[in-house]
Structures are given as structure tokens and as C-alpha cells.
């Protein structure tokens, strides 16, 4: 009898382990770009969106050097939830000039994909642009696609309506924009952006300049774009998310020596913003980050936040979840403990979480990596990836 009971127990345990194994979905990982390969010296600045047709669009900058110089905007597409990817596509190449900082948004009404970018003379460096000694300012441009990202319109200069002429540096995103789903501004397209501005007490590039953020918004499906009031001081590289009541929250890289993300709120669809505060739950070391309204998960509204969650350096890429409109963050999930920097989040058509980020073994800028996984992985113990993944 005891022998039969033992055999039955082993059989049940085997079934349980098999069922658990069957329910475990493998992590999907792809290296989309890698330093030292392809036609460019470096690849940086990830941007990732899911189109209305369920296609994934992954953008990055193909660079020869740093944040200015000869930079082209690149794209790869996936029509199978990130399992396979297209060949590299050049969205914008303007000779030796800078074409970067991708920030796309999908209009869910028309299906059109709007893509904001920034341009500057490749011979002008960042410091010269901030100090306004450059040959030309850094300018916002706008392109769009009506065929699911296969082709793109010629970028159009948006300086007249989307930039204050007193600003020096200018950058859209990087990351993605949103379309509002709630409140009186439902349907509004919102693009996060940032800039440098005159500030007698500012210390950016030894002053007298500061960094600020703002948004660009459109209520007519992208035909006309307007600019919000600025958010300042000491913040840039912004991403925006919508809370359940239609309030917008701007989440920004901070230069205010708080080792935490700067945040600001708007009750009028992004036209005006509250004074900045800092969310000390979101530790940062002056790096770009990504925030995403995932939507419903386990009958709750879930926001996700991804960044190198350390007070200095760029490593320990960590995903956090919020179920109360970004008031509290929990369930820290270590994605990768090694070097990692900029990132972008999206929700895949099959409900998985998709992320596109910079990482490597020795440097955070070795590879541009796409990863997808079930949202239940957030609550599982252990790191999602290890050093062997790179």
C-alpha cells in the first residue's frame, strides 16, 4: 500500500511539474543592432512602438560618434511579436548632419504613425548649440507613415510651431508619444520633448543655461501641433503617461541632485504643468527611462517603469509596476544587472511586455536588445537576464 502511495505521489508531482513547465513561456530575446557590426560605428537611443496592425517598430540612431555629428535614423520591423525582424531601414539620412531622437506615436483613429525627430548641423556640437554659438539651432522635424512603417514621408521642419526660438538644445523624447483615452481631451496626440533655456543661475555646460521639458500636442490627428508651457528647472529626456482620470504625468531625467526621477502633472491635456517634484521610489543616475500605461492586468490598471535603478552609473536595469496610477511602485524586477542605459517599453499584441534597451558586458552601449515576456514574470523571483545573455 505504501509503495502504491509513493508511486501515486511521484506521478502527481510529475504531472504538476509538467503543467508548470507547459505554462512557462520562454523569454524572447533578439539583438537588433550591435557595436562593431553593420554600417555604423555605434547604435544608440532606442524607441519601440506597436502599430494599429500589431507590427513592432524599433528605431535607433546609427552614429559615428556622440550625440551630434553624422547620425542617421534607423528602423527594423517585426510582424510576429518580435520573433523575427526585417532588415535595417534608413528612415532619414541627411548627409553628415544629425537626424535622431525618434519619438513616434500611433493615431488609433486613422492608423497613421507620426514620427517626431530632431535635426542639427553635424558640424555643431551639443555645447555650441546650448550656448547658441552653433551655425544653426537644433530643430524639431516631423514625418509620418500610412503603410505600417514600411515607408515614411519627407521630414518637415516644425520649428515655427513646436520650438521657442530662445531655446538652444532641443530633443523630442526619446521614446514614444501617447494618444489620450480619457477626459475632455480624448484623442489628443501628445509628444514629450525637452530643451535648454536661458537661466542666469543655471549650471548646464557651466551656465548660464538650464534644462526644461515640454510637450507637443495635436487635436486634429496631427495636422496642427501646439506647444505646452515649459516644465523647469533641471529636467529633460521626458516621457509622458496618462492616468485613469485623464491626468497626464510627465516623468523626467533630473539634474536637481536628488538621485530620483522628476515628475509633473497636467489636468488640461498637457497645456500647463505643476511645479516639479521628485519620486524617490524611482531612483536614477541621470539617465533616460521609459514609462508605459500597460492597461488592464489581473483586473487592475497597471503602469510600468524601466530604468537603471542605481544612484550612480548605468546598470541594474529594473522594471517596476504600479497599480494605483503611479502613486506607489512595487514588484521590482531586475532585468539585467550588468551595464545598461536607455530603454523603451511597449505592450505587444499578444499581451506580452516588450522592451528595447541598450546593454552589454563591458559597456552599456554594446548592443541594442529586444526582449519580450509574459507580465506574470514581473512577480517571479530572480533576474530576467544574466551575463550569459550577452
pLDDT of residue 18 exceeding 90, the answer is no
- Phi/psi for 292 (5° steps) reads -140, 130
Cβ pair 261, 279 in contact under 8 A: yes
On whether the pTM is more than 0.85, the answer is: yes
Of the candidates 152, 53, 161, the residue with the CA atom closest to the CA atom of residue 107: 53
In this structure, is residue 39 part of a structural domain? no
Indicate whether 9 belongs to any domain. no
Q: Are 93 and 235 members of one domain?
A: yes
| Most distant pair of Cα atoms in the chain: their distance | 90
Q: Are residues 169 and 299 in the same domain?
A: no
Burial class (CB in 10 A: 0-12, 13-18, 19+), 257: exposed
Whether residues 199 and 209 share a domain: the answer is yes
Same domain as 231, residue 83? yes
What is residue 306's three-state secondary structure? Answer: strand
- Phi then psi for residue 40, to 5 deg, are -125, 155
Instruction: List 242's β-bridge partners, or say none.
Output: 248
Residue 128 predicted with pLDDT over 70: yes
pLDDT score of 390: 79
Q: Would residue 216 count as lying in a domain?
A: yes
> Which set of grid coordinates corresponds to residue 175?
521614446
Does residue 134 register a pLDDT over 70?
yes
Residue 16 is classified by DSSP as H
Mean pLDDT of the region 327-333:
95
> Do 341 and 195 have their domain in common?
no
**Structural domain containing residue 221:** 46-285+320-329
- Specify whether 234 is located in the same domain as 306: no
User: Mean pLDDT lowest for which of 22-36, 98-112, 259-273?
Assistant: 22-36
Could you tell me which residues come within 8 angstroms of residue 37 by beta carbon, excluding any fewer than 6 positions away? none
Q: Give the CATH number for residue 213.
A: 2.120.10.10
- Same domain for 266 and 294, yes or no, is no
Residue 13, φ and ψ in degrees, nearest 5: -60, -40
Do residues 77 and 155 share a domain?
Answer: yes
> In angstroms, rounded to a whole number, what is the distance separating the alpha carbons of residues 35 and 42?
5
Last residue of a domain, one of 329, 349, 364: 329
Q: Is residue 358 part of a domain?
A: yes
Q: Which of 19-33, 106-120, 155-169, 245-259 has the lowest mean pLDDT?
A: 19-33
How many Å apart are CA 156 and CA 282, to the nearest integer? 36
- Based on the domain organization, do 257 and 340 belong to the same domain? no
pLDDT of residue 25: 59
Average pLDDT over residues 135-145: 97
Q: For residue 106, what pLDDT band results from cuts at 50, 70 and 90?
A: very high
Alpha carbons 60 and 241: distance in angstroms, whole number? 22
Cell of 78: 517585426
Report percent pLDDT > 70 for the chain.
94
Q: What is the pLDDT of residues 216-246, one digit of tens each?
A: 999 999 999 999 999 999 999 999 999 999 9
Average pLDDT, the chain: 93
Say if residue 11's pLDDT is above 80: no
Q: What is the C-alpha separation between 244 and 224, in angstroms, rounded?
A: 26
Residues 214, 338, single domain; the answer is: no
Residues 295 and 281 in one domain: no
**Using H for helix, E for strand and C for coil, what is the string for 79-139?**
CCCCCCCCCCEEEECCCCCEEEEEEEEECCCCCCEEEEEEEECCCCCHHHHHCCCCCCCCE
| 346 and 266 share one domain | no
Nearest to residue 138, comparing CAs of 104, 93, 101, 168?
A: 168
pLDDT recorded at residue 368: 98
Residue 341 has pLDDT above 80, yes or no: yes
The total domain count for the chain is 2
The stretch 344-373 carries a mean pLDDT of 97
Q: How far apart are CA 254 and CA 277, in angstroms?
A: 10
232, part of any domain: yes
Beta strand 315-322 with 209-218 is: unpaired
| Residue 180 placed within a domain | yes
Q: How far, in Å, CA of 185 to CA of 175, rounded?
A: 22
Amino acid at each position: 500500500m505504501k509503495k502504491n502511495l509513493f508511486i501515486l505521489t511521484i506521478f502527481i508531482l510529475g504531472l504538476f511539474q509538467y503543467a508548470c513547465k507547459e505554462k512557462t513561456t520562454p523569454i524572447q530575446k533578439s539583438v537588433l543592432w550591435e557595436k562593431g557590426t553593420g554600417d555604423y560605428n555605434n547604435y544608440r537611443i532606442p524607441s519601440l512602438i506597436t502599430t494599429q496592425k500589431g507590427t513592432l517598430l524599433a528605431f535607433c540612431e546609427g552614429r559615428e560618434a556622440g550625440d551630434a555629428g553624422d547620425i542617421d535614423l534607423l528602423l527594423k520591423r517585426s510582424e510576429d511579436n518580435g520573433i523575427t525582424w526585417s532588415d535595417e531601414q534608413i528612415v532619414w539620412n541627411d548627409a553628415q548632419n544629425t537626424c535622431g531622437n525618434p519619438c513616434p506615436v500611433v493615431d488609433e483613429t486613422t492608423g497613421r504613425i507620426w514620427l517626431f525627430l530632431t535635426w542639427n548641423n553635424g558640424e555643431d556640437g551639443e555645447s555650441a548649440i546650448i550656448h547658441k554659438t552653433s551655425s544653426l539651432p537644433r530643430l524639431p522635424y516631423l514625418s509620418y507613415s500610412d503603410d505600417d512603417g514600411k515607408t515614411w514621408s519627407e521630414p518637415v521642419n516644425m520649428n515655427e510651431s513646436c520650438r521657442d526660438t530662445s531655446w538652444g538644445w532641443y530633443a523630442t523624447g526619446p521614446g514614444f508619444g501617447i494618444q489620450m483615452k480619457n477626459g475632455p481631451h480624448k484623442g489628443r496626440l501628445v509628444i514629450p520633448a525637452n530643451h535648454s533655456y536661458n537661466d542666469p543661475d543655471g549650471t548646464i555646460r557651466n551656465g548660464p543655461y538650464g534644462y526644461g521639458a515640454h510637450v507637443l500636442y495635436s487635436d486634429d490627428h496631427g495636422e496642427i501641433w501646439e506647444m505646452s508651457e515649459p516644465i523647469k528647472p533641471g529636467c529633460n529626456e521626458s516621457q509622458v503617461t496618462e492616468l485613469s482620470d485623464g491626468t497626464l504625468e510627465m516623468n523626467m531625467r533630473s539634474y536637481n541632485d536628488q538621485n530620483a526621477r522628476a515628475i509633473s502633472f497636467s489636468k488640461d491635456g498637457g497645456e500647463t504643468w505643476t511645479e516639479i517634484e521628485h519620486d524617490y521610489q524611482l531612483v536614477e543616475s541621470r539617465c533616460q527611462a521609459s514609462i508605459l500605461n500597460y492597461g488592464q492586468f489581473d483586473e487592475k490598471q497597471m503602469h510600468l517603469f524601466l530604468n537603471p535603478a542605481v544612484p550612480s552609473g548605468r546598470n541594474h536595469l529594473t522594471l517596476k509596476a504600479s497599480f494605483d496610477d503611479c502613486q506607489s511602485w512595487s514588484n521590482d524586477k531586475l532585468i539585467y544587472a550588468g551595464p545598461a542605459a536607455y530603454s523603451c517599453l511597449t505592450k505587444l499584441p499578444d499581451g506580452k511586455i516588450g522592451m528595447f534597451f541598450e546593454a552589454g558586458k563591458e559597456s552599456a552601449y554594446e548592443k541594442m536588445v529586444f526582449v519580450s515576456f509574459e507580465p506574470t514574470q514581473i512577480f517571479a523571483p530572480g533576474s530576467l537576464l544574466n551575463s550569459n545573455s550577452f
